[in-house]
Structures are given as C-alpha cells and as structure tokens.
Amino acid sequence: MADIGVRTASPADASAVGAMLARAFDDDPVTRFLLPSGSRRAVQARRFFTWQLRRLIPQEQVHIAGENQGAALWALPGRWRESPAEGLSLLRRLPGPVVAHPLRLTRSIAVIERFHPPGAHLYLSVLGTEPSAQGSGFGSAAIAQGLALADAEGLSAYLESSKERNIDFYARFGFQVIEKLTLPGGGPALWPMWREPGGRMQCS
C-alpha cells in the first residue's frame, strides 16, 4: 500500500472514475437489485457513479488510488444526503429503473436513509476497485486518507457493506457491524458498519 499513490479527485476525474466504479460494482447485489436491466446496467451504473462523484468531489474527500484503480468517496458530516435538486438530477439520469421499478428504488432508499445514524461522522459512500486490480492494495490505499481525517478530527465513520465477504476487510480498519438490513421487495442484505475515532488498522 505504501507504494500506491493517492490523490484527491477533481471534477475532471468524474467520468473515468465513474466508469471504473461501474465495472467494480457490476456483480454487487444491491446494484443488480436496483439496476436490474442486464443490457443497460453498465450504462446506468456509470451514470449513477458519475453523478455521485460530481456531487461529492466538491467536498474534497474523494480519493483516487493509483491510475484510477481504486476510489473512496466520502461525505463530510451532515452532507451525506443529496439535496432535492441533486435527487432530481439523478432521476433524470436513471429513467429506466425509475419507470420500471419506482417502488423498489424509493423504498430501498428510504430503508437505507432511515437507518443512517445521526450525529457528526464521515460517511464512506462508495469504495471500489477495478476488478483486475482487486486484492492489490488499491482499496486500502484509497480508504486511508478518509480514516486519517476521521482520526485527526475525532470523528466516527460509517458505511454500508453490500457484500458479506467485505466485512472482514472493513473490520481491519476498525469498522464493526451494527445491524443487518434487508432491502424490501425481496432485496439483498446490507451490513451497516460503524468505526469509532482512532480505530486501529490491522496489517494483513
């Protein structure tokens, strides 16, 4: 991880990193549940992640590892929820899922947001690695700067893991599972995880 460069994203990175995250989340259960059209999923996912990047990059806590092989998208305290205007812009970018499965999308978002903890914390909205580079330390490098900020500011951190096999990865950085959620309408599980300030990173 020490040899992997990490930089803060700029608006010019949104398109390329959004495409990388779409590839990284192609097999993600939540992505497949909310964007179920196989022929269009890649396009829809790229639009979603590009939208998310453009929304969060101004907070200066989107960190890119390597040559776009990994990215961590953090939201600052109190700024994790999109504004009405941002939500509307997302709906315009994802007309297929909204029209085909409006209740699935809105009910799932409501469940996730209802459980989101109150109080000041950093929120790890997305952590993704290029599939061909997974297991090479890019995810660990990308997440490190947000955790360093949390520790320096005495802030807790929060995320939702959409894969059970990723729980151990996040546990290495001090995150602990606090609940298991199931998305409505036969949706997949999510594991909300919380990290107190100063959570110890375990070496692999």
Is residue 193 within 8 Å of 177, Cβ to Cβ? yes
Kindly state whether residue 174 falls inside one of the protein's structural domains: no
Where is 202: in which H helix or E strand? none
Query: 36-47: per-residue pLDDT in tens?
Result: 777 788 888 999
Residue 203 pLDDT level (bands cut at 50, 70, 90): very low
The label of the residue with tokens 């909205």 reads 125
Kindly state whether residue 102 falls inside one of the protein's structural domains: yes
Residue 100 sits in a domain of what CATH number? 3.40.630.30
Is residue 197 within 8 Å of 120, Cβ to Cβ? no
What's the chain's average pLDDT? 89
What does the alpha-carbon distance between residue 189 and residue 196 come to, in Å, rounded to a whole number?
A: 23
pTM listed for this prediction: 0.90
Is residue 197 predicted with pLDDT exceeding 90? yes
CA distances from 55 to 30, 47, 60, 132, 138 (A): 20, 12, 11, 27, 23
Query: 10-19: per-residue pLDDT in tens?
Result: 999 999 999 9
Residue 74 pLDDT level (bands cut at 50, 70, 90): very high
Kindly state whether residue 180 falls inside one of the protein's structural domains: no
Is residue 149 within 8 Å of 61, Cβ to Cβ? yes
Is residue 7 predicted with pLDDT exceeding 70? yes
Kindly state whether residue 81 falls inside one of the protein's structural domains: yes
Is residue 202 predicted with pLDDT exceeding 80? no
Kindly state whether residue 203 falls inside one of the protein's structural domains: no
Comparison of pLDDT for 47 and 203, the residue scoring more? 47
Kindly state whether residue 170 falls inside one of the protein's structural domains: no
Total number of domains constituting the chain: 1
Kindly state whether residue 74 falls inside one of the protein's structural domains: yes
Query: 92-145: per-residue pLDDT in tens?
Result: 666 555 545 667 777 888 899 899 999 999 999 999 999 999 999 999 999 999
What pLDDT sits at residue 35? 82
Kindly state whether residue 163 falls inside one of the protein's structural domains: no
Q: Which domain holds residue 64?
A: 6-157
